[in-house]
């Protein structure tokens, strides 16, 4: 029995290959996590278990897809970055995005009980994520994208930290705290925290203030590879990336230092960490 009579329906599948030689960012977001975090009583403003679970799932995605060169997470969102030379799934948009979304979801659900041992998942309150791909033509713009997310992390965390301190320690209602914070700038919030509650925002955990950046750290030296790599070279690089350790860091990715010290991230080539550690490195190790 042939299937030819109906096979014409395949012609309706439209190509969705992403422009070559561009950075691919797949950003995923928790669906309805506001309601979900209430249901599972996430700690406000930051639930360390929830963030660690996000990072653990993201690390598995990085390990599953060696083509990924960096990822950045904050709150219930994560951005995964493919290098311009990436040819995974022939750069098909839907394939790249759904693979990341599904792999992330699978690990998030599977690892849930590790991070929330006394809070079992209760359908229909199952966490899930949506996602999308965006392409960026240059490394400069990719870095601006990463900076955009980290600035957002800072703005939101400063607001949330102040808001929840006013509510939890100051006894304000949500509405009153919201009202008082309306129109304030960073300096105002820092002052509220310090003057009223003796909290120095700078002493908050780096993971809350900076979010989480994931990348590979190789044991091997920089590969001296040509721009046009042969297939066997690409396979070799893939292998190196696969066995590289995925690091979870909480550091500034806006300034140049982070990128200059880890040139293999933007170059798309494997490389090992320079021997002397930067300050933000040390902070990350606290």
Q: Which residues bind a copy of itself (CB under 8 A)?
A: 1, 3, 6-17, 19-22, 28, 31, 60, 63-64, 84, 93-95, 97-99, 101-103, 105-110, 121, 123-124, 126-138, 141, 144-145, 147-148, 151-152, 154-155, 158, 185-186
Question: What's the min distance (Å) between Cβ of 201 and a copy of itself?
Answer: 12
Question: What's the min distance (Å) between Cβ of 74 and a copy of itself?
Answer: 13
* CA nearest to 57, candidates 117, 108, 113: 108
| Residue whose CB is less far from a copy of itself, 71 or 97 | 97
- Token pair for 47: 């639930």
| β-pair partners for 78 | 28, 73
Angle (CA) 131-63-92 rounded to 5° is 45
Task: Confirm whether residue 261 is marked as ligand binding.
Answer: no
| Residue whose CB is less far from a copy of itself, 11 or 221 | 11
Task: Confirm whether residue 33 is marked as ligand binding.
Answer: yes
| Residue whose CB is less far from a copy of itself, 142 or 166 | 142
| Residue whose CB is less far from a copy of itself, 135 or 166 | 135
Distance CA 286, CA 281 (A): 9
Task: Confirm whether residue 34 is marked as ligand binding.
Answer: yes
Residues in the annotated binding site: 29-34, 75-76
Residues in the annotated binding site for GTP: 29-34, 75-76
Residues in the annotated binding site for Mg(2+): 29-30, 76
């Amino acid at each position: 029995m042939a299937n030819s009579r109906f096979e014409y329906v395949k012609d309706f599948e439209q190509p969705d290959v992403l422009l070559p030689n561009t950075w691919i960012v797949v950003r995923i977001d928790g669906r309805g996590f506001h309601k979900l975090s209430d249901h599972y009583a996430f700690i406000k403003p930051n639930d360390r278990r929830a963030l660690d679970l996000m990072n653990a799932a993201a690390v598995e995605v990085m390990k599953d897809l060696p083509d990924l060169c960096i990822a950045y997470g904050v709150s219930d969102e994560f951005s995964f970055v493919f290098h311009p030379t990436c040819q995974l799934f022939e750069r098909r948009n839907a394939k790249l995005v759904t693979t990341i979304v599904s792999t992330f979801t699978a690990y998030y659900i599977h690892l849930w009980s590790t991070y929330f041992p006394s809070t079992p998942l209760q359908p229909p309150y199952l966490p899930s994520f949506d996602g999308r791909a965006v392409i960026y033509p240059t490394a400069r713009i990719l870095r601006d994208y990463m900076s955009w997310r980290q600035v957002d992390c800072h703005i939101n965390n400063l607001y949330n930290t102040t808001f929840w301190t006013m509510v939890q320690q100051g006894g304000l209602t949500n509405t009153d705290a919201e009202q008082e914070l309306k129109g304030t700038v960073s300096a105002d919030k820092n002052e509220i925290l310090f003057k009223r509650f003796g909290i120095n925002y700078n002493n908050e955990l780096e993971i809350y203030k900076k979010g989480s950046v994931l990348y590979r750290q190789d044991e091997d030296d920089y590969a001296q590879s040509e721009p046009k790599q042969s297939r066997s070279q690409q396979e070799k690089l893939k292998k190196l990336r696969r066995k590289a350790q995925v690091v979870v860091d909480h550091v500034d990715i806006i300034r140049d230092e982070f990128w200059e010290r880890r040139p293999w991230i933007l170059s798309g080539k494997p490389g090992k960490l320079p021997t002397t550690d930067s300050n933000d490195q040390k902070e990350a190790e606290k």
